[in-house]
Structures are given as structure tokens and as C-alpha cells.
Amino acid sequence: MAISARRRAPSDQTPGVIRFLRETYDELRKVVWPTPQELYRYTLVVVVTVGVIALFIFAVDTALSQLSARFIYGSVGKT
């Protein structure tokens, strides 16, 4: 028994770019934009998080460079 596919109703025949822009505009209208207070708080969280990660990377980099200077490169000059 063969299964027959249904034909779709013809979709919107507007050109691709115009349809894309219209659908993009419709989707942007559905977005719930943050209030200025929320935006400030989110920005502060991002800046603090980036600062903490930068300090962590700086500390690890400094520790590794000190360890490599002491144990790896320090033994090169003693030969």
C-alpha cells in the first residue's frame, strides 16, 4: 500500500529578502527586552566575571612562569 504525500498549500510568494526582513521584524517584536536596571546588573555581572577570570589567568601564568624559571631554566645555567 503506497503512502501518498499531501501537497502543501503554496507559501508566501514574496521575494526572499523582503520575506526575511519581515519575519525578522516580527520575531524582534516578540523579544522581551531587559529593563535598564536589569541591563546594568547583567553588564556588571559580566564585567566582574571577566575581571575574576583575568585575575585567575594572571595568577596561574605568573606561577607557571616562576616555576619554569626556577626548575627548568634555572638548571640550564648550572652546567
**Going residue by residue through the chain (79 aa), what tens digit of pLDDT does each one get?**
667 766 665 566 678 899 999 999 999 999 999 999 999 999 999 999 999 999 999 999 999 999 998 888 776 655 5
Threshold 0.85, pTM exceeds: no
Q: Hey, what's the cell of 48?
A: 566582574
Residue with cell 595568577: 59
C-alpha span between 12 and 23 (Å, rounded):
12
C-alpha span between 79 and 69 (Å, rounded):
16
C-alpha span between 65 and 72 (Å, rounded):
10
Dump pLDDT digits (tens) for 35-54: 999 999 999 999 999 999 99
Domain definitions of the chain by residue range = 34-79
Cα–Cα distances (Å) from 52 to 48, 57, 59, 63, 78, in that order, read: 6, 9, 11, 17, 39
